Structure 1
């Protein structure tokens, strides 16, 4: 059982992420305002994490100067507030499956930004460098194919209405639907780019403020304040802020507590046991779960182009991770005496 714990943990992580996309899409389709959703989500996350930050990081000495506080505020705005608002805005015009699919390009985007900003070195003359570059390109092409190439409809999971009804309705909304999907996809890719940027910025902040749980809590707190101010400026109808015992309350509580809180600990546990590559290898599983559940519950159509794009995304991600694994092994061979330590902290928003 001890050897199976990391596999169980990583499976739960991907189930939670799939649930995030599905529940968020359901709440937004029910009419919940996206700005209000983000504000409530960050409020739940802050309240949940605050006790853990107090008890777990109380022995860590981390002085909070004005400079560090300002950096945390800025990182929270770019990587959480702006990223989440774009993510949920895009979710209005796209599907939960697309949202789960595009997150697979985040490792490649982060790597690309790290190379551009010279945080990470890239040598295309070596095999692992070529594999990583090829994986990035395949992932990006897969995201574009998934979003913009439809092709014939796969009827394997078609539980919708009759063909004549579908054809009649599709003729009416075909043009507007395509425009909305393109707009939603571009905004979703922008949100993923901000998420990748957040990883790089957070690595810099952690060097000055090593209290990890407290840092996450502060970012959630700042993001809650920022999102609330933005939501109050954009949403003047007070009824939009009311929460009832429905899918809206379940969704914001799930995203704030389960996604931000529980997956944080599960990821740290799995990274400690098996390493970051092991965790990332299971990322496409959330896409598969989301696509299957969406097809059965919401009659979401699956197209051949989307299937091919998803396979390219998964293949590109695994190729990129293979290159990272090859690089780590080469570093261990070059330094056999000192060894090689890989440290990775994964945060969720």
Structure 2
């Protein structure tokens, strides 16, 4: 009997991650469809963004209180400013662009472009890392060229 219970637990553990992934996709699809309906009915986009942010924060806040118990002492104005800046640049601006685009197209295109975001991010990271490498190498050569000129002038 104990072996049977252990097998059931292992089987449930194997299905845990795929089930969570399917549920995330279902919830995301539901949010996109609800957002499309509310935008099509004339809801102000920034109000939708505010409601979405408020309810998301209300759901996550208790988990943050529990998981980050010792970190609240480090919260000062500078940290709060960085959190606000990152939330504005990383969430509010892209989501408002997304909602404006969703208002002009169908939910199918929104889902397609949402799934393309990681690919575009990867391509941009490759291009920017290559650009950063080239910048470092050019800077090194310029620095060495200037130093070599100074050394040759001394001799």
Q: Aligned residue for 1:11? A: 22
Q: Aligned residue for 1:87? A: 98
Task: Give me the TM-score of the superposition, normalised by structure 1.
Answer: 0.32
Task: Specify whether residues 9 and 77 from structure 1 end up closer, same or farther in structure 2 by C-alpha distance, changes over 3 A only.
Answer: same
- Match of 1:2, SS state, is helix
Could you tell me how far apart the structure 2 residues matched to 1:15 and 1:62 are?
38
Highest CA radius of gyration, 1 or 2?
2
Could you tell me how far apart the structure 1 residues matched to 2:116 and 2:73 are?
33
Query: CA offset at residue 68 of structure 1?
Result: 3.4
Task: Give me the TM-score of the superposition, normalised by structure 2.
Answer: 0.68
Query: CA offset at residue 60 of structure 1?
Result: 4.5
Q: Which has the higher helix share?
A: 2
Gap regions ≥5 residues in structure 1: 122-349
Q: How do 1:127-146 residues align onto structure 2 when only pairs under 5 Å count? A: none
Q: Aligned residue for 1:53? A: 64
Q: Aligned residue for 2:31? A: 20
Q: Aligned residue for 2:114? A: 103
1:42-67 Cα deviation digits (max 9, x unpaired):
11122222222112210347723544
- Match of 1:38, SS state, is helix
1:90-138 Cα deviation digits (max 9, x unpaired):
111100000000012111121123223429x9xxxxxxxxxxxxxxxxx
RCO (CA 8 Å, sep 6+): is it higher in 1 or 2? 1
Q: Aligned residue for 1:73? A: 84
- Match of 2:70, SS state, is coil
Q: How do 1:110-121 residues align onto structure 2 when only pairs under 5 Å count? A: 110-118=121-129
